[in-house]
Structure 1
């Protein structure tokens, strides 16, 4: 159970008070033993030895009781400290009254209590303790003179002792204030250091790069979770014990050969990594290895490129649409007014290319509207009507399309986005198919709460060297294509929290749209 705290005082104050009371217990035990040892000597006044032993034993009992108060931390710190000093002053004065020979020595011991009270109590009430001790010493000395034990000339010695109390009190006050400032500064810096450590820990754990700190002998000093994941290490790395070569022998070998500031590439089961070495300039030759996932860097660069490309093409598209409409309209008028075969062919070329540019502009504008979602419910009948409508638009024969989907099909999707995705996939499938009965296969199936829509053809399929570039913008193998169809379809799918992918295999090309189904 934690001990209660006292406002305005640190735990170190209570520890110091505990040590001070331990000194008082030891001193009280020594005084009790001294009283017993010199009970028959002439050290004490006549018949005063018994009183000295009683006072010493009372001092020991009071110090023992103070232990309980310190442990309970009740009453408050300043009250307990004042009670300690007051008990010392009273009992020391009583013991000094039993022997003139011990009076000077006990007076010096009282100076230790005053100094300790000033140091333990952060300099508070130190001068009060010195004044209380001085008054008590003067009163005791005065009663001793009245009793005939000492002469008037001994007041000078007592005055020096009282001046010493005040000097010790002032010195303890100054030293305590300095120590207190140092303690507060240390606690403030400790708090800032702890906060900085927490910030560093959060930054390291959430960094997209992995960080490995290793000593010169290959012992891991720190390994971030991201670094272990990139290296494909499932076991926990124990700092100061685990060796890097036990986790990644290739990385350990290459890191020993690296010069500070250089980089090298490391292939792991999880990723392709770019490794940088940063020396820490410590006696044990420690260094930090920064593991960067190349695929993420490439994806980030791709996203920046696509964002810039999207803004540029959107602006261009808006500027192109009006003059493009004028060109298309002028070509139609020329075609209607002329009967020359060559001119009709030229105007046809103009119209075909104008339509191609208009389709490109429409795809670019659709791409920039992909975040404007208006999801609606689809079932098997609605999806079948959409496929039939797009089949008629592309003039695909009815027997060329085979549709297979369960009656329980149900999902949510933006209708315009789904139309654009299915249209692009069906148009590409028909373009590269054999254009015969059953050339296009459209299927859908439910898998728990998820569902998949697949569109395939019986064409030659996609070459293996082109599969990784299918969804890149402006990549096309068709001279009449824009290269934006599949890229646009994937972007629209992701906007609806779905995933469009190419399914490799034999017997034509097959694309899969995976999404979460509705209830």
Structure 2
């Protein structure tokens, strides 16, 4: 059970007081043995040896009681210290009165008590203890002179002893003040270091990058939970024991080639594609810190920054574009109605096609900026089939070109405007790249576990592997007439509804799957 603390004093103060009292116990035992050993000698005055032994036993008893007070830390520290010094002065003076031969030597014992009191009590009341000891010594010597056992010229020796008390008290006061300042500074620095360690621990625990500290001999000193997750390590590591080659052999082999602050390695794990930076710590054991960066997160962060800048730009200019765009479109229509020249009619058609393309681009950008405005409703197979049929008619796709199969048990929540935009983009792309034959587009709604999956597949040429990785990038398109925002917008709207839109490789043609979690 921890001992109670005292305001203004550290545990080291109580420990020092405990040591001081241990010295007192030892001294009291020695004095008891002295009284027993020299009981019949002429060391004491006639009939005073019994009084000396009584005072020595009382001194030993009081020192033993002080142990209980120190253990309980009650009463307060300064009260106990003052009681200790007072007991030393009173009992030593009483024992000095029993023998003139012991008086001088025992007077020096008070110098030890004064110095110890100053050191233990951090310099507080040290001069008061010196004054108390001086007054006691002077009184005892005065009584000895009145009793005829001492002469008047011995006051000089007693005066030097009292001056020594004050000198020792002042020196103890100065030294303990400096020691207390150093201790206070050390405690403050220790608290700041502990706070810094807690901050560092929180920063490491919440860092998006994984951090590994490895010794030069390959032993792992520290591994953050994020690093273990990125490396796919499920077993717990024992810092200072587990070797990197045992838990992550591929990483150990990569680092064995070269490690420096300007070198970076790449590593593919089941969890992520990693970029690894090695930072030497310049320690005797050649320790280094490995920073594991998830490249997919870095790419997503860069894309979010790019999209944020794009959103700010387009939000400001989209409305300004639409007005002159509408005027250009109307002017082109009027020119086509007033002219009979085929060349001019072709030029006006080009103008109208491009104005429609720009208008669609503006509409997609504005839709992207409104992706967080959700109003989810319940959907089922029949409702979704009706939406697909409506969009098919809008795009003028023949009915026999689209095969729709819907699960009767499929239920999910989605914003209707967002779902319309996603399905419209996917259906329009499928029709653009398919063979435009009967059954070229196959749409089906499935249920799997707790998710509803909508798949739209066409019988077109599909996508090359290099294009698959860039499908959902903004402004990436393989069609000269496309805006490059359709699939990107569809994925953003899906994520806004807590759904996932992905390309399904390994199929004939192109296949996209919309997975909606959390069935209704």
- The alignment's TM-score, normalised by the length of structure 2, stands at 0.93
Give CA deviations for 1:291-317 in whole Å, capped at 9, x if unaligned: 333333233223323333343444454
* Aligned partner of residue 422 in structure 2, secondary structure: helix
- 4+ runs deviating over 6 angstroms: none
Q: Return the alpha-carbon distance in structure 2 between the equivalents of residues 14 and 123 of structure 1.
A: 15
Asked whether the equivalents of residues 232 and 268 of structure 1 are also in contact (C-alpha less than 8 Å), the reply is no
Quick check: 433-442 or 18-27, which moved more? Answer: 433-442
Q: Return the alpha-carbon distance in structure 1 between the equivalents of residues 285 and 499 of structure 2.
A: 51
5+ long unaligned stretches in structure 1: none
Q: Return the alpha-carbon distance in structure 1 between the equivalents of residues 220 and 409 of structure 2.
A: 56
Q: Is residue 264 of structure 1 aligned with residue 297 of structure 2?
A: no
Q: Is residue 484 of structure 1 aligned with residue 510 of structure 2?
A: no
Q: 1:10 matched to which residue of 2?
A: 10
Q: Return the alpha-carbon distance in structure 2 between the equivalents of residues 514 and 187 of structure 1.
A: 58
Q: Return the alpha-carbon distance in structure 2 between the equivalents of residues 158 and 201 of structure 1.
A: 63
Q: 1:320 matched to which residue of 2?
A: 321
* Aligned partner of residue 435 in structure 2, secondary structure: coil
* Aligned partner of residue 279 in structure 2, secondary structure: strand
Asked whether the equivalents of residues 409 and 445 of structure 1 are also in contact (C-alpha less than 8 Å), the reply is yes
CA separation of 1:456 and 1:251: change in aligned 2, threshold 3 A: closer
Offset, 1:263: 0.7
Q: 1:429 matched to which residue of 2?
A: 430
CA separation of 1:254 and 1:402: change in aligned 2, threshold 3 A: closer
Q: Return the alpha-carbon distance in structure 1 between the equivalents of residues 243 and 464 of structure 2.
A: 45
Give CA deviations for 1:120-173 in whole Å, capped at 9, x if unaligned: 112222222112211211221122122221111111111111121122111111
CA separation of 1:197 and 1:418: change in aligned 2, threshold 3 A: same
Quick check: 503-512 or 154-163, which moved more? Answer: 503-512
Q: Return the alpha-carbon distance in structure 2 between the equivalents of residues 426 and 255 of structure 1.
A: 49
Q: 2:348 matched to which residue of 1?
A: 347
Q: Return the alpha-carbon distance in structure 1 between the equivalents of residues 400 and 257 of structure 2.
A: 66
Asked whether the equivalents of residues 263 and 274 of structure 1 are also in contact (C-alpha less than 8 Å), the reply is no
Offset, 1:280: 2.1
CA separation of 1:94 and 1:241: change in aligned 2, threshold 3 A: same
* Aligned partner of residue 469 in structure 1, secondary structure: coil
CA separation of 1:278 and 1:436: change in aligned 2, threshold 3 A: closer
Asked whether the equivalents of residues 127 and 166 of structure 1 are also in contact (C-alpha less than 8 Å), the reply is yes
Q: 2:215 matched to which residue of 1?
A: 215
Count of matched residue positions in the alignment of Structure 1 and Structure 2: 519
Quick check: 4-13 or 409-418, which moved more? Answer: 409-418
Q: Return the alpha-carbon distance in structure 2 between the equivalents of residues 397 and 502 of structure 1.
A: 25
Q: 1:454 matched to which residue of 2?
A: 455
Q: Return the alpha-carbon distance in structure 1 between the equivalents of residues 365 and 254 of structure 2.
A: 47
Q: 1:102 matched to which residue of 2?
A: 102
Q: 2:277 matched to which residue of 1?
A: 276
Q: Return the alpha-carbon distance in structure 2 between the equivalents of residues 220 and 49 of structure 1.
A: 71
Offset, 1:248: 3.4
Asked whether the equivalents of residues 462 and 509 of structure 1 are also in contact (C-alpha less than 8 Å), the reply is yes
* Aligned partner of residue 445 in structure 1, secondary structure: strand
1:29-48 correspondence to structure 2 within 5 Å: 29-48=29-48
Q: 1:140 matched to which residue of 2?
A: 140
Q: Return the alpha-carbon distance in structure 2 between the equivalents of residues 439 and 255 of structure 1.
A: 52
Q: Is residue 150 of structure 1 aligned with residue 156 of structure 2?
A: no
Asked whether the equivalents of residues 265 and 277 of structure 2 are also in contact (C-alpha less than 8 Å), the reply is no
Asked whether the equivalents of residues 267 and 276 of structure 2 are also in contact (C-alpha less than 8 Å), the reply is no
* Aligned partner of residue 469 in structure 2, secondary structure: helix
Q: Is residue 471 of structure 1 aligned with residue 442 of structure 2?
A: no
Quick check: 422-431 or 225-234, which moved more? Answer: 225-234
Q: Return the alpha-carbon distance in structure 2 between the equivalents of residues 346 and 444 of structure 1.
A: 44
* Aligned partner of residue 255 in structure 1, secondary structure: helix
Q: 1:187 matched to which residue of 2?
A: 187
Q: Return the alpha-carbon distance in structure 1 between the equivalents of residues 110 and 511 of structure 2.
A: 97
* Aligned partner of residue 453 in structure 2, secondary structure: strand
Q: Return the alpha-carbon distance in structure 1 between the equivalents of residues 103 and 490 of structure 2.
A: 102
